[in-house]
Amino acid sequence: MAAIGVIGAGYVGLTTAACFAALGHRVVCADRDADRVSALRRGEVTAHEPDLPDLVSDGLRSGALCFTGANAEAFTEAGFVFLCVPTPSGPDGAAELGAVRSVLAEIGPRDCRVVVKSTVPPGTAAALSRETGIELVSNPEFLREGHTVADFLHPQRIVVGATQPEDARAVLALYPEAPAIVTDTTTAELVKYAANCFLAMKLSYANSLAELCEVFDADVAAVTEGIGSDTRIGPDFLRPGPGWGGSCFPKDTRALAAAAEAAGVDFPLLTATMSTNDRQADRVVRRVMAETGPLRGARVGVLGLTFKAGTDDLRDSPALRVVERLVAAGAVVRAYDPCVRGAVDGVEVVESAEVAVEGAVAAVVLTEWPEFGALSWAELKPTMALPVLVDTRCVVPVEAAREAGMRVVRWGNASVR
């Protein structure tokens, strides 16, 4: 059992803290957001993450986990301190390291292992170790939102970068058994970007295939099944949609592109991955308008606002990019998302799919919430101004919707497979 400090109680920090506590370690988790800390002390978890509220409550009850607003309390006694603070995009796309630096300044040289879990550009730990005199360990995180606890407790691999082999061994020993990749800090940092950027590239490829399929009248579901059955390609991350988003892919692709450019390395695959994504929202609006005509003054019902199903996270959501463009085209947008309540810029958020599509010239599915697959288009169609359904996530059973009289645009002409 180890004494662990975790700095940052967001998706990554809170999951790290609660899971390490569940694994038998003693954890102090610090966050500078006083409201978040007060809520967590009461066992209130706002993120929509399966099992996380239970693990937090268990940790608080057993005393294995506690929360503080003072970072110093998380590292005074700790043998390990995990940095899980944000690394957002700066104005030129490069990762902004202000939060990491400020925490390191607070820690100062001391007798504990300082582990960077935040996603930082290759060379960061080495440079900051030189600057601060703290020998940093790199331990990038690969969890997905909506699955944070399961991904943390059952990782496909753990990557640790360290200068001293015993530091890497000590960090690995905190985790459950899993395949480990032990390397230097810069390589570990690059693994993280390489993974996210590769997945983003795969998605941009799939989205371009979807566009091609619509032009050639081919079926993207069959195409991606056809290529995904080749184990060298693999079936995952080939589902086309309105573009990829979330708190990490967009910022991490920008950050790696900025790092490559600063290093004088031409990486056109990466820039094409991003520019392909940037085009997707306009493509959705074009596809809607091809069915409805001009949108000025027309009502559009949007189904789904989060960046993917299974999360309440709206950060850099492709759905919001589409909404912004629909509004710019003059549409009056009403949106429903099972996980979003309250105000979202430019759009009226309503309490049901039925209310969202009432009076609309088109219903546009932008997030793959399973409940959208169960909607009765026979009941919805008579309430709409035009029977148009644009399903960018391919979740609506197309035959049933067509039988109900809907004109269905299914992304990439995807068949139901």
Ligand X SMILES: NC(=O)C1=CN([C@@H]2O[C@H](COP(=O)(O)OP(=O)(O)OC[C@H]3O[C@@H](n4cnc5c(N)ncnc54)[C@H](O)[C@@H]3O)[C@@H](O)[C@H]2O)C=CC1
The residues binding ligand UGA (CB under 6 A) are: 119, 141-145, 196, 199, 203, 237-239, 241, 244-246, 248-249, 307-308, 318
Q: Does 35 contact ligand X by CB under 6 A?
A: no
Q: Does 372 contact ligand X by CB under 6 A?
A: no
116 phi and psi angles, rounded to 5 deg: -95, 115
For ligand X, the closer of residues 119 and 317 by Cβ is 119
Of 32-40, 206-214, 284-292, 389-397, the segment contacting ligand X by CB under 6 A is: 32-40
Of 3-11, 286-294, 356-364, 386-394, the segment contacting ligand X by CB under 6 A is: 3-11
Phi-psi region of 123 (alpha: psi -120 to 50; beta: other; left: phi over 0): left
How are strands ordered across the β-sheet holding 3-7? 65-68, 26-30, 3-7, 80-83, 113-116, 136-138, 158-161, 180-183
Q: 203 is in the binding site of which of ligand UGA, ligand X, none (Cβ under 5 to 8 A by kind)?
A: ligand UGA
Q: 244 is in the binding site of which of ligand UGA, ligand X, none (Cβ under 5 to 8 A by kind)?
A: ligand UGA
103 phi and psi angles, rounded to 5 deg: -70, -40
Distances 51 to 114, 150, 228, 257, 273 between C-alpha atoms, Å: 27, 8, 31, 35, 34
Tell me whether strands 113-116 and 299-303 are parallel, antiparallel or unpaired.
unpaired
Q: Does 11 contact ligand X by CB under 6 A?
A: yes
Per annotation, catalytic residue among 19, 29, 66, 248: 248
Of 99-107, 167-175, 236-244, 347-355, the segment contacting ligand X by CB under 6 A is: 99-107
Name the residue with the smallest CB distance to ligand UGA: 248
Q: 13 is in the binding site of which of ligand X, ligand UGA, none (Cβ under 5 to 8 A by kind)?
A: ligand X
Q: Does 155 contact ligand X by CB under 6 A?
A: no
163 is in an annotated binding site: no
Contact by Cβ (8 Å): 271, 257: yes
Could you give the angle at which helices 11-22 and 52-62 cross, rounded to 10 degrees? 50
Which of 22, 80, 118, 220: binder of ligand X (CB under 6 A)? Answer: 118
Q: 10 is in the binding site of which of ligand X, ligand UGA, none (Cβ under 5 to 8 A by kind)?
A: ligand X
Q: What is the DSSP string of 226-243?
A: HHHTSTTT-STT----S-
Reading the block at residue 159, the tokens are 């990557």
Could you tell me which residues are beta bridge partners of residue 161?
138, 183
Find the shortest distance in angstroms from Cβ 71 to ligand X. Answer: 5
Q: Does 273 contact ligand X by CB under 6 A?
A: no
341 is in an annotated binding site: no
47: Cβ contacts below 8 Å, ≥ 6 apart: 11, 14, 145, 148, 311, 312, 313
Q: Does 350 contact ligand X by CB under 6 A?
A: no
Name the residue with the smallest CB distance to ligand X: 10
Q: Does 31 contact ligand X by CB under 6 A?
A: yes
Whether 248 sits among the annotated catalytic residues: the reply is yes
41 is in an annotated binding site: no
Contact by Cβ (8 Å): 415, 221: yes
Q: 86 is in the binding site of which of ligand X, ligand UGA, none (Cβ under 5 to 8 A by kind)?
A: ligand X
For residues 96 and 211, give the distance between their C-alpha atoms in angstroms, rounded to a whole number: 34
Tell me whether strands 362-365 and 299-303 are parallel, antiparallel or unpaired.
parallel
Q: 116 is in the binding site of which of ligand UGA, ligand X, none (Cβ under 5 to 8 A by kind)?
A: none
Find the shortest distance in angstroms from Cβ 115 to ligand X. Answer: 12
Which of 243, 272, 267, 244 is CA-nearest to residue 257?
267
For ligand UGA, the closer of residues 287 and 381 by Cβ is 287
Query: What's the helix, strand, coil split of the chain in %, to 5?
Result: 45, 15, 40
For ligand UGA, the closer of residues 64 and 255 by Cβ is 255
Please tell me the count of residues contacting ligand X according to CB under 6 A: 27
Q: Does 85 contact ligand X by CB under 6 A?
A: yes
Which of 191, 97, 103, 76 is CA-nearest to residue 139?
191
Q: How far apart are the first and last CA of the chain?
A: 48
- Residues contributing to the site for ligand X (CB under 6 A): 7-13, 30-33, 36, 71, 84-87, 99, 102-103, 118-119, 141, 143, 145, 247-248
Instruction: Report the catalytic residues.
Output: 248
